[in-house]
Amino acid sequence: MKAITLLSSGLDSVAALSIAAESLEIDMALTFDYGQRSAEREIEYARKVCKHFGIKQQVIKLDWLAGITSTSLVNRELEVPELSFEDIEKSAPVEITEASAKAVWVPNRNGVMLNIAASFAESRDCEFLIVGFNGEEAGTFPDNSLEYVRAMDKCLTYSTQNGVKVLAPLIELDKPEIVRKALEAKAPLEYSWSCYHGGETPCGTCESCTRRARAFRTVGVKDPLLESLGL
């Protein structure tokens, strides 16, 4: 069984790839550049992950998507929202995470990426697309949910001849569980970049950095990326 992995180099995509690689042949990785602030870092770190697994990486540029979105991930004139540990607790007011999700939303991003990846998969005789969708983010991002994966699988039975399927090994997990599973699968987390910004080091305060830091703190281990950067 062969699979293509969608690899942003974030914690989730690196964990999902590492888990899937235990039982599947990974044909290649796709990294998408839609003009996001962290594109350069994501491509660089995803390249390191691909080298670790000995797989080919293809970078797909989506300039048109950068051109039609007003998200703060792309638009440098807007501020990327910052969240604290308290803001992402389940008991925190949902408006805070909803406002953050709205500010970083890119129109149909996962739909576009999955469909492009499905074309690669069909043409290369691959049965699966590996994604890092997870239970924690499904709460704020509907395109991370199990319902979405099921709906996409159904769509792909019509649009691909070999019935490509989405494989989401983290779909029911929260971030601490993802860190635990990733460590079990010996995922190269020192090569995983989660920050929405593209600085030399992660900012530590954007939603993605906060969720990651909280997960490592909950599990009680140091983030290998921060360790490798001497932080």
> Minimum distance from CB of 209 to Zn ion (Å)?
3
Residue from 62, 206, 213, 225 in contact with Zn ion (CB under 5 A)? 206
> Minimum distance from CB of 36 to Zn ion (Å)?
12
The number of residues that bind Zn ion (CB under 5 A) is 5
Residue 199 vs residues 83, 100, 106, 193, 195: alpha-carbon distances, Å: 18, 20, 21, 11, 9
Q: Does 195 bind Zn ion (CB under 5 A)?
A: yes
Q: Does 209 bind Zn ion (CB under 5 A)?
A: yes
Enumerate residues 20-59 that contact Zn ion by CB under 5 A.
none
Residue from 203, 219, 221, 226 in contact with Zn ion (CB under 5 A)? 203
Q: Which stretch binds Zn ion (CB under 5 A): 11-19, 126-134, 176-184, 201-209?
A: 201-209
Residues in touch with Zn ion (CB under 5 A): 195, 202-203, 206, 209
